[in-house]
Amino acid sequence: MDRSDGPLKGTVVVDLSRALAGPHAAMLLGDLGARVIKVEQPGTGDETRGWGPPFVGPEEERISTYFLSCNRNKESIELDLKSDDGVEQLTRLVRAADVLVENFRPGVLDRLGFSVERLEELNPRLVVCSITGFGHDGPEGGRAGYDQIAQGEAGLMSVTGPSSKEPTKTGVAIGDVLAGMNGAQGVLAALVERGRTGRGRVVRTSLLSSIVGVHAFQGTRWTVAREVPTALGNQHPSIAPYGAFACMDGMLQVAVGGEAQWARFAGLLGLDAEDPRFRDNASRVAHREALIAEVEAVLAQGTRDEWLSRIGGAGVPCGAVRTVDQVYEWDQTRSQGLVVSVEHPVLGDVELPGSALRFDPRGPDEAEEFGRGYLPPPALGEHNTAVRTWLDEAEREREAVAEPVG
């Protein structure tokens, strides 16, 4: 089943966002079948078009792989929102759209003449997704939001890294990506609500709220137990043994989540499962360093692949630590549709990371899973003419419907 026949078929999304959080949200909606129209500044476009290296393609038309990562399944139209024509075309887009995604700093959209009140006046059914750095209100609501700054401010860096002395950011812009996911989730809920009420709604999220929202057990360690979490490298703060361990030729990971698994794991390694230091999880956490030393002394006697086979065979969760290239070549990754091919107008056939969602066929009429037919990230202004033509046609259709009969 083609992507355009997905659950959001017929839904039009206007993407006013740039960088990563907003574009990621709009891309997720496009993955689900929505038509996403990306509005970009003439001549320059989304600033991520210039973020690199790496760049690919011919020297005169170099393309940022960063931009490619968050703009599949979109069309691109250039509009100068400070010009009369840009305002007119955005007004037409708002009237025709179901969803608008933006991640301007608070107040910018108002200054452009598209306040929440104006958007509702133009299209009462419009769902607006607004993503900010630290929230649209509050004492610091006007701050610019960049992922690494938000990771630090929201506490994530303090629990990431080898120790409390070396706060570390994650290897991806996780605050941006989480905000995009939360924004898309909020849009879907608002669209369901609109089906009942006939009216749209403003959905708000931020990098701050998205990171704090995934603190999970690290959050309740403080809010309930009044214990300040700190970084423990590749070990779990509440479970042991659970983390990365060295063996003869590399690292593997083991997750011993219960006492039955501990008994099997200890027996496999020749450790005493009833050692008073290790007999239950709380004791193992308290004696974590001694436990790690004993585990790694045994693992050092074999290769990573040997231990993965033996530990997995004993029913204890374990895994390799793969590099990114290994992940994309892994047959399990490809079996899940996590690598998709698109025909790019400059680069030709390229592979992109795919959607994390899969939809089973609904009976014999749908012989294939939903998700085929991805669109490549667009060239700047690639759809200028097509979008304007579509708006003209949409206006003529609305006028025809509005004409009195008889």
How many residues in the chain?
A: 406
- What is the side-by-side strand order in the sheet with 242-247? 242-247, 250-255, 318-320
Distance, C-alpha 253 to centroid of its chain: 24
How many other CB atoms are found less than 10 A from the CB of residue 216? 8
First to last CA, the chain: 43
C-alpha to C-alpha distance for 13 and 392, rounded to whole angstroms: 17
3-state DSSP of 62-91:
CEEHHHHHCCCCCEEEECCCCCHHHHHHHH
Structure tokens at 250: 């590399």
Distance, C-alpha 310 to centroid of its chain: 34
C-alpha to C-alpha distance for 146 and 129, rounded to whole angstroms: 18
Q: Are the CB atoms for 102 and 128 separated by under 8 Å?
A: yes
Q: Are the CB atoms for 354 and 340 separated by under 8 Å?
A: yes
| Strand pairing category for 12-15 and 99-102 | parallel
Q: H or E segment at 319?
A: strand 318-320
**104, 34, 17: which is closest to 74 by C-alpha?**
34
DSSP string, 173-227: -HHHHHHHHHHHHHHHHHHHHHHHHS---EEEEEHHHHHHTT-THHHHHHHTT--
The residue from 80, 110, 176, 275 that is catalytic is 176
b/e map of 69-85 (b: 16 or more CB within 10 Å)? Answer: bbbbbbbbbbbebeeee
Catalytic status, residue 176: yes
Structure tokens at 333: 């990754």
Q: Annotated catalytic sites, by residue? A: 176
